[in-house]
């Protein structure tokens, strides 16, 4: 079992907390391994903040998200950048007030 999630938005660090909670709950309550990474820096001043969580039953899994199972895009810019990593049949969660156009996917 392996789930790869990327959660991104413009502003704020709530997504970072969301990924930490998601990873900890998977590790503590489901006996899985969780790897969490984040990008904040200048992003906290109006750019895209990004957080990723890999949940796996394998302790030696690669901690970087490559193929997404779930993408949470809270802005149009973050959707435009990261939708290419979300393949058909996977889950997209977005903010309908902030996301207007959906890019073409192959």
Q: Is residue 101 part of a domain?
A: no
The confidence score (pLDDT) of residue 46 equals 61
> Percent of the chain having pLDDT more than 90?
3
**Does a structural domain hold residue 86?**
yes
- Over range 15-42, report the average pLDDT: 83
SS3 43: helix
19 part of a folded domain: yes
**SS3 helix, strand, coil % of the chain, rounded to 5?**
30, 40, 35
Q: Is residue 28 part of a domain?
A: yes
Domain of residue 22: give its range.
2-94
Q: Based on the structure, what is the number of domains in the chain?
A: 1
Residue 88, domain CATH: 3.40.920.10
87: confidence class by pLDDT, cuts 50, 70, 90: confident
Q: What was the pLDDT predicted at 11?
A: 53
């Amino acid at each position: 079992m392996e789930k790869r999630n990327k959660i991104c938005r413009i502003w704020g660090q709530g997504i970072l907390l969301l990924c930490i909670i998601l990873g900890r709950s998977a590790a503590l309550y489901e006996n899985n391994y969780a790897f969490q990474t984040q990008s904040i820096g200048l992003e906290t001043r109006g750019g895209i903040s990004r957080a990723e969580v890999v949940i796996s039953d394998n302790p030696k899994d690669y901690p970087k998200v490559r193929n997404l199972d779930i993408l949470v895009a809270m802005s149009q810019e973050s959707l435009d950048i990261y939708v290419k990593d979300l393949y058909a049949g996977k889950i997209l969660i977005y903010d309908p007030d902030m996301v207007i156009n959906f890019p073409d996917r192959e």
